[in-house]
């Protein structure tokens, strides 16, 4: 009788734990992780925080970023290019678009923009650690 009780208890515990695992929603676990992260700030908002952009500058810079993203996607999707070639083209695209943005800025903003460009980004810092 004692063995029967133990087997029944073991069976109930096993089925209870396994059903709990099956019913757990993996998306809710991912959602919790994402909720802990800071909301993503647009590149225009980051520049505005540093440079105090006018509304016209914000609009024009947003359009430049959109154009840049489209050009970067074309390079990313190009199967004929190897990784070093893609990286070189991406660097050219970014430099060209940075020049377009710089041309929109006042001399004071340009000085601040140049200082921002010289400073390594958070992504570059994390890449250096690996």
pLDDT digits (tens, 9 = 90+) for 87-121: 999 999 999 999 999 999 999 999 999 998 888 76
Q: How far apart are CA 97 and CA 90, in angstroms?
A: 11
Return the pLDDT at 40: 76
CA distance 77 to 85: 13
Look up tokens 């709990």; give the residue.
20
The whole-number pLDDT of residue 118 equals 86
Label residue 52 by pLDDT band (50, 70, 90).
very high
Matching residue, tokens 């940075």: 98
pLDDT the model gives residue 42: 87
Chain centroid, CA 28 distance in Å = 21
Quote the pLDDT of residue 125.
Answer: 55
CA–CA distance from 127 to each of 40, 43, 72, 121, 124 (Å)? 19, 20, 19, 10, 5
Q: What is the DSSP letter of 121?
A: P
- Give dist(CA 100, CA 96) in Å, integer: 6
Helix (H) or strand (E) holding 72: helix 55-77
pLDDT in tens, 10-37: 666 666 655 555 555 555 555 555 556 6
């Amino acid at each position: 009788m004692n063995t029967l009780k133990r087997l029944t208890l073991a069976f109930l515990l096993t089925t209870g734990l396994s059903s709990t695992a099956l019913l757990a929603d993996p998306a809710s676990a991912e959602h919790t992780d994402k909720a802990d992260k800071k909301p993503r700030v647009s590149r225009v908002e980051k520049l505005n925080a540093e440079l105090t952009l006018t509304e016209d500058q914000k609009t024009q810079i947003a359009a430049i970023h959109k154009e840049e993203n489209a050009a970067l996607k074309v390079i990313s999707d190009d199967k004929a290019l190897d990784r070093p070639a893609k990286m070189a083209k991406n660097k050219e695209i970014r430099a060209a678009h940075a020049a377009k943005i710089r041309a929109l800025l006042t001399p004071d903003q340009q000085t601040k923009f140049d200082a921002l460009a010289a400073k390594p980004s958070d992504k570059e810092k994390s890449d250096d650690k690996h």
